[in-house]
Amino acid sequence: MNIDSIENGTVIDHISAGRGLKLYELLGLSTVEAPVAIMLGVSSRKLGRKDIIKIDAPVPVDTDVIGFFDPGATVNVIRDGVLVEKRTIGMPERLVNVIRCENPRCITSCEQELDHVFRLTERGEYRCVYCDTKAKIR
């Protein structure tokens, strides 16, 4: 299989195998007006198998979504066919409007204009800043 290199855009690499399609969906890449290639189950010396997403346009991607859904993935920025930036994405300290609090008693369920804010705890889980409900990863 041959996927062409990109001149200007972003490559999300080292996605855990089987998570590429869900990450594509969470990042809203179906609305991008540019070619997007998703490679699933690619061989990897580091991971065994991995998924890769290539976006053939300089489109911003939400690294908080990537860090929440698959920490350890890398984001590579390509300009004029050259890698100009490579970042390993870790778990963000705060998530704003990435996930929603599922507690029906949380103030965010009745105050629609409030942001859904979660903080990363020392235990490596996300909790709502308003009601301390633990986030569920889907």
Q: In Å, how far are 4, 101, 121 from 138, measured between CA atoms?
A: 32, 13, 18
- pLDDT given at position 138: 57
Q: Where are the domains of the chain?
A: 9-88, 94-128
pLDDT tens sequence across 29-61? 999 899 999 999 998 888 789 999 999 998 889
Using alpha carbons, select from 133, 25, 24 the residue that is nearest to residue 117.
Answer: 133
Dig out the tokens for 119 from the structure. 């903080």
pLDDT at 5 over 70: yes
pLDDT tens sequence across 59-109? 889 999 999 999 989 999 999 989 999 999 999 999 999 889 999 999 998
Tell me the whole-structure pTM to 2 decimals. 0.82
Give the Cα separation of 10 and 1 in Å (integer): 20
What integer is the mean pLDDT of 128-138? 87
Dig out the tokens for 111 from the structure. 């105050």
The answer to whether the CB of 116 falls within 8 A of the CB of 100 is yes
**Looking at domain 9-88, which of 3.50.90.10, 3.40.50.300, 3.40.228.10, 3.30.70.140 is its CATH number?**
3.30.70.140
- pLDDT given at position 2: 57
CA-based R_g, the chain, Å:
17
Dig out the tokens for 34 from the structure. 């540019």
